Amino acid sequence: MNEPKIACRNLWKLYGADPSGFLTQHDGRPSIEAIRKDGYIPAVRDVSFDVMPGEILVVMGLSGSGKSTLLRCLARLIEPTAGKVMFETHDMLAASERELIELRRHKMGMVFQNFALLPHRTVLDNVAFPLQVQGVGRREREGRAREVIELVGLKGREDYYPRELSGGQQQRVGIARSLAVGPDLWFLDEPFSALDPLIRREMQDEFLRLQKMLNKTIVFITHDFDEAIRVADRIAIMKDGAIEQLGTAEELVTRPATPYVAKFTENIPRDRLLSVKSVLTPAGSRKPAANSIHVDTMLTAVARRIMTDDASIDVVDSAGVLVGTLDRATYIDVLYGQEPLQ
């Protein structure tokens, strides 16, 4: 059985006069109304989840919903008010300052939206910097830095200064720097939000390419649903410090747990997320037509045929058995929101 890389249980972070005392007064589970009434700010509210090795968990939510605070509580850059965070076998909230520094230096990588590069150091020195802090000798750290610089596509720019690079290139330096220590766990807080849309997409591709090779465990914050859909294994949607729902993009869209999630996801282009499975009309048992399609086909891939062919389409499973049919009316209703999904 695979153990989670991060397990977080009943995590709270309240801002205000006496958050711990307030939580105790309310048996550790105050309502949002009680929190507001007493003037506390619910930055993180009773959050529990696991992130499995190699998984990309995306955290989404409106501004102020608690995404950054949650991420920082996981690394204990912010002290949670209550709860538990396990990173592998390490109890993060019981760890000493010294252990925390060691864990952050050796096992965690962090990338934030303002790349925070050192302006008077070259690309090579910026990337090698975390290794220098670890006390790694010059030859070894520069060798490692060159490797990750090549990995992020910046070979040849080792001697440039940050001001001589574009925004996207600077962000690559930030990514290379966070990778230099070979972290197991990668925290990314809106890493691409300062970039213009084309470069942003390029960086997402680059990120996915890297992740394919490196297979890190990642917690990734973004405001942008397009970005979330591209990179996430699962998505957590936060509101007022709590996780409203955590699931795959398809689950959030097809089975929203709350009206808030339904509203939050209503503008996601469904054809990119949903497969034929979500729009099947039952069919009896008969021999499927020769031009039938597989049940896992994405809706976007059948758009042309649906629009040009008046007949409904037979849908089969991997064994070639008829599992239902797909017709134009249901397809349009599901995609354009006329029909609740099954």
Ligand X SMILES: Nc1ncnc2c1ncn2[C@@H]1O[C@H](COP(=O)(O)OP(=O)(O)OP(=O)(O)O)[C@@H](O)[C@H]1O
For 318, the token pair is 């991997």
Position 41 contacts ligand X (CB under 6 A): yes
Position 77 contacts ligand X (CB under 6 A): no
Between 125 and 190, CB nearer to ligand X: 190
Q: Is 235 helix (H, G, I), strand (E, B) or coil?
A: strand
Q: Answer yes or no: are the C-beta atoms of 232 and 207 closer than 8 Å.
A: no
- Considering only 19, 30, 66, 183, the residue that binds ligand X (CB under 6 A) is 66
- Considering only 45, 67, 172, 277, the residue that binds ligand X (CB under 6 A) is 67
Contacts of 34 (CB under 8 A, 6+ apart): 26
DSSP string, 100-135: HHHHHHHHEEEEESS----TTS-HHHHHHHHHHHTT
Half-sphere exposure of 177 (CA within 13 A, CB side): 28
Which span (61-69, 124-132, 244-252, 261-269) binds ligand X, by CB under 6 A? 61-69
Position 61 contacts ligand X (CB under 6 A): yes
Spell 221-251 as b/e; 16+ CB within 10 A means b.
bbebbebbbbbbebbbbbbbbbbbbbbebbb
Between 42 and 256, CB nearer to ligand X: 42
What whole-number distance in Å separates Cα of residue 317 and Cα of residue 86? Answer: 41
Between 65 and 171, CB nearer to ligand X: 65
**Cβ of residue 13: shortest distance to ligand X, in angstroms?**
8
Which span (64-72, 96-104, 170-178, 317-325) binds ligand X, by CB under 6 A? 64-72
Q: Answer yes or no: are the C-beta atoms of 327 and 336 closer than 8 Å.
A: no
Hunting for tokens 């760890």 — which residue is that?
Answer: 95
CB atoms near residue 55 (< 10 Å): 19
Nearest residue to 203 (alpha-carbon basis) of 169, 165, 180: 169
Between 234 and 239, CB nearer to ligand X: 239
Convert residues 6-35 into a mask of x (bound to ligand X by CB under 6 A) and - (unbound): ---------x--------------------
- Considering only 4, 54, 64, 153, the residue that binds ligand X (CB under 6 A) is 64
Between 47 and 173, CB nearer to ligand X: 47
Between 61 and 191, CB nearer to ligand X: 61
Between 4 and 64, CB nearer to ligand X: 64
Q: How many binding residues for ligand X (CB under 6 A)? A: 11
Could you give the C-alpha distances from 42 to 20, 35, 79, 216, in angstroms and in order? 13, 7, 14, 30
What whole-number distance in Å separates Cα of residue 108 and Cα of residue 92? Answer: 12
Between 13 and 104, CB nearer to ligand X: 13
Secondary structure element (H or E) that encloses residue 218, with its range: strand 217-221
Which span (20-28, 59-67, 92-100, 251-259) binds ligand X, by CB under 6 A? 59-67
What whole-number distance in Å separates Cα of residue 277 and Cα of residue 9? Answer: 34
Position 81 contacts ligand X (CB under 6 A): no
Between 69 and 122, CB nearer to ligand X: 69
**Cβ of residue 324: shortest distance to ligand X, in angstroms?**
41
- Considering only 69, 126, 265, 330, the residue that binds ligand X (CB under 6 A) is 69
Position 43 contacts ligand X (CB under 6 A): yes
Position 63 contacts ligand X (CB under 6 A): yes
Question: Could you list the residues that contact ligand X (CB under 6 A)?
Answer: 15, 41, 43, 61, 63-69
